[in-house]
Amino acid sequence: MTSPHFKEPLRAPTSLSSTRQDAILAILLDRGEVRVGDLMARLSVSEETVRRDLKELEGKGFLKRVHGGAIPTKPSDLDTIQSRELDLADEKGIIAKFAAQYIQSDYQNIFLGGGSTVNALARNLPSHPKLRVVTNMLDAAVAAGKSEAFEVVVTGGTLNSKHNVLAGYNVIETVQHQTFDVAFVGTGGIDSIRGFLYPELPGHYLANTLTRSARKLYILADHSKFGKWARFASISLGQASGVITDRCPDAQFVEALADAGTELIYPTERGKR
């Protein structure tokens, strides 16, 4: 068994326009729509600037412009969390056990995102005393809360009852104002060129924010996610510390992750790679 190799996530360059567009997306997630006049007042910018930002965000697939503002693009018709937990349940259990090994000491502040694979980790957290668990997923909070040794914090936000996750500005604000030792999130798909993909805007925006708030960011993905397509390209392969999966993916993904400096973790006959 080789020793885990930790890599500090790369930081995406920031600019006034990207920061402004991040704020627009956060407001859109929270309210379900944005209006040009309101954005002008909130961001202290001109109408031309707001309309240019909305046009760029529409081009990236994040929203749809309408008269006087914008609305979110139609979310994907995903299965419920309960049905997804039954799919590849054994594989997700394997991933959870490997992921738990990366929570290595007491007094850690960790973040658990939404999704059935991350929820499997919440049920298999190591018994470190005084572990602080922050999550936007209600099922993960209940699972982690079964240990009296853990402090469990649930973010604010708007409930998506189909997936039992909280979304919106309050989730992002919670993540932005904390520093996590390690964060674990799922993904809708992995592309060897575009990186980690998400079918809905909240997942995309959360993963992107965690690249700045978490010292280590691990993507939990069963083998079916490699090569699977989703609408939003969120973060590059190099912005994750590692990908934890249940089997070795195709060579193109092995090479792409190695080139990005991102650890690929999966079980072998001798243990862990």
Q: How far apart are CA 44 and CA 109, in angstroms?
A: 35
Q: Specify if 155 maps to a domain.
A: yes
Q: What is the pLDDT of residue 2?
A: 40
**Are residue 90 and residue 67 in the same domain, yes or no?**
no
Q: Tell me the residue range of the domain where 62 lies.
A: 16-72
Q: Specify if 8 maps to a domain.
A: no
Q: What is the pLDDT of residue 1?
A: 41
- Kindly report the CATH number assigned to the domain that includes residue 98: 3.40.50.1360
Number of domains making up the chain = 2
Judge whether 191 and 217 are in contact, CB under 8 Å.
Answer: no
pLDDT digits (tens, 9 = 90+) for 206-225: 999 999 999 999 999 999 99
Q: Averaged over 132-155, what is the pLDDT?
A: 93
Q: What is the pLDDT of residue 272?
A: 60
Is the model's pLDDT at 190 over the cut of 60?
yes
**Are residue 254 and residue 138 in the same domain, yes or no?**
yes
Burial label, 48 (beta-carbon count in 10 A; 0-12, 13-18, 19+): exposed
Q: What is the 3-state secondary structure (H, E, C) of the chain?
A: CCCCCCCCCCCCCCCHHHHHHHHHHHHHHHHCCEEHHHHHHHHCCCHHHHHHHHHHHHHCCCEEEECCEEEECCCCCCCCHHHHHHCCHHHHHHHHHHHHCCCCCCCCEEEECCCHHHHHHHCCCCCCCCCEEEECEHHHHHHHCCCCCCEEEECCCEEECCCCEEECHHHHHHHHCCCECEEEECCCEEECCCEEEECCHHHHHHHHHHHHHECCEEEECCHHHECCCCCEEEECHHHCCEEECCCCCCHHHHHHHHHHCCEEECEECCEEC
Q: How far apart are CA 95 and CA 84, in angstroms?
A: 15
Partnered with residue 244 across adjacent β-strands are: 220, 265
Is the model's pLDDT at 52 over the cut of 60?
yes
**Are residue 171 and residue 229 in the same domain, yes or no?**
yes
**pLDDT band at 60; cut points 50, 70, 90:** confident
**Are residue 100 and residue 171 in the same domain, yes or no?**
yes
Q: What is the pLDDT of residue 9?
A: 37
Q: Specify if 48 maps to a domain.
A: yes
**Are residue 59 and residue 117 in the same domain, yes or no?**
no
**Are residue 118 and residue 175 in the same domain, yes or no?**
yes
**Are residue 132 and residue 247 in the same domain, yes or no?**
yes
Q: What is the pLDDT of residue 187?
A: 94
Is the model's pLDDT at 200 over the cut of 60?
yes
Q: Specify if 62 maps to a domain.
A: yes
Q: Specify if 146 maps to a domain.
A: yes
**Are residue 133 and residue 262 in the same domain, yes or no?**
yes
Q: Specify if 2 maps to a domain.
A: no
Q: Specify if 5 maps to a domain.
A: no
Nearest CA among 48, 33, 116, 46 for reference residue 81: 116
**Are residue 233 and residue 124 in the same domain, yes or no?**
yes
Q: Specify if 11 maps to a domain.
A: no
pLDDT digits (tens, 9 = 90+) for 94-138: 999 999 999 987 779 999 998 889 999 999 998 876 799 999 999
Is the model's pLDDT at 229 over the cut of 90?
no
Q: What is the pLDDT of residue 160?
A: 84
Domain ends where: 38, 72, 106? 72
Contact residues for 72 (Cβ-Cβ < 8 A; gap 6+): 28, 29, 32, 33, 62, 63, 64, 201
State both tokens at 76: 């994907």
Q: Pick the residue with more confidence: 79 or 134? A: 134
**Are residue 32 and residue 126 in the same domain, yes or no?**
no
**Are residue 151 and residue 39 in the same domain, yes or no?**
no
**Are residue 225 and residue 245 in the same domain, yes or no?**
yes
**pLDDT band at 15; cut points 50, 70, 90:** low
- Kindly report the CATH number assigned to the domain that includes residue 63: 1.10.10.10
